[in-house]
Amino acid sequence: MTTHKVVWSHSALKDYESCALKYKEVRVLKNYKFTETEATKYGTLLHSAAEFYIKDGTPLPPEFEFIKETLDALNKKPGRKLCEHKMALTTDLQPCGWVGPEVWVRGIADLLIVDDENLTAWVVDYKTGNNKYPDREQLKLMALMVFKHFPHIRKVNAALLFVVKNDMVKTSMSVDQADAEWWHYRQRIARIEQAHETDVWNAKPSPLCPWCPVTTCVHHPKH
C-alpha cells in the first residue's frame, strides 16, 4: 500500500491535530472556503505595511504608526532583512521551490534577519490577535527551515510579536537540536498520512466548534 504524500505547513498540521474531520473537509475535500473577517483583513493590511516599511522604507499608514518604533528596532539589528520570505523543503529536507511535486513542507517568515557574520538569524512573526495562548510551534518550524535554507547559521532567535498587545514571546534554537525536532515532526505527519490511507478522520469537539465552518459536523451547533 502506497503512503499518501502529505504537503504540510504549520497551520495545516495545527488544523489536523485540532480536528481531523475539519482538516479533511476544509483542506482535503475543500468543501468549505476561507471567509475573510474584519480581523483577518486587519492582519493582512498590517503585515503588508510592515513588509514594505522594512523592505523599501515605505511610510506606514496612520493606523499602523503605533508599530513604527518596534519595526525601527528590528531594522537596526545586524543582518540581511528578508520580508515575507518563503521557504520550502523536500521530504529529505533539501531546499526546493515553493511549488512543485517535490515539496513536502512550506513556511513563510514575516521577517527573517540573517546575520552572516555572527552565524545567527532572527525570525519574527507579527500577530494582531490575543497573546493569551502564544503558539511557539510556528517559530520552531521556521527555525528548522532556516537551518536548511541557510546552512551556515548555527542559532536562530525567534519571536511572536503581538503588535496590538505590545508583547513579544521569544524562543531560540541551536542547529544541534534540529535532527530531534525533525524526527518529532515526521511522527506527527505520519498520522496524517495514515488518515489518508485509512480514510479515518475523527472529529474532536472543543469550545471552538461554534466557529468552525464545517456545519455538517454533528458537534456543530448548526447541525
The pLDDT, as a whole number, for residue 199 is 95
Cα end-to-end distance, the chain, whole Å: 36
pLDDT by 10s per residue, the chain, length 223: 446 789 999 999 999 999 999 999 999 999 998 778 898 999 999 999 999 999 999 999 999 999 999 999 999 999 999 999 999 999 999 999 999 999 999 999 999 999 999 999 999 999 988 887 788 899 999 999 999 999 999 999 999 999 888 888 999 999 999 999 999 999 999 999 999 999 999 999 999 899 899 999 999 988 7
List all residues 6 or more positions away from 160 whose beta carbon is below 8 Å from its beta carbon: 125, 127, 131, 134, 135, 136, 138, 139, 168, 169
State the pairing for strand pair 105-115/80-89. antiparallel
The DSSP 8-state label assigned to residue 164 in this structure reads T
Which helix (DSSP H) or strand (DSSP E) does residue 98 occupy?
Answer: none
The pLDDT, as a whole number, for residue 3 is 62
By the 8 A CB rule, do 54 and 60 touch?
A: no
The pLDDT, as a whole number, for residue 1 is 45
Distance CA(27)–CA(124), nearest Å, equals 26
Distance CA(223)–CA(125), nearest Å, equals 36
Which helix (DSSP H) or strand (DSSP E) does residue 111 occupy?
Answer: strand 105-115
Output the pTM of the full model.
0.92
The pLDDT, as a whole number, for residue 5 is 84
The pLDDT, as a whole number, for residue 222 is 84
Q: Which of 174, 70, 210, 58 is nearest to 127 (CA)?
A: 70
Strand order in the sheet with 80-89: 80-89, 105-115, 120-127, 155-162, 167-174
By the 8 A CB rule, do 146 and 181 touch?
A: no
Distance CA(35)–CA(9), nearest Å, equals 20
Q: Which of 90, 74, 66, 178 is nearest to 123 (CA)?
A: 74
**Which residues share a beta bridge with 124?**
111, 159
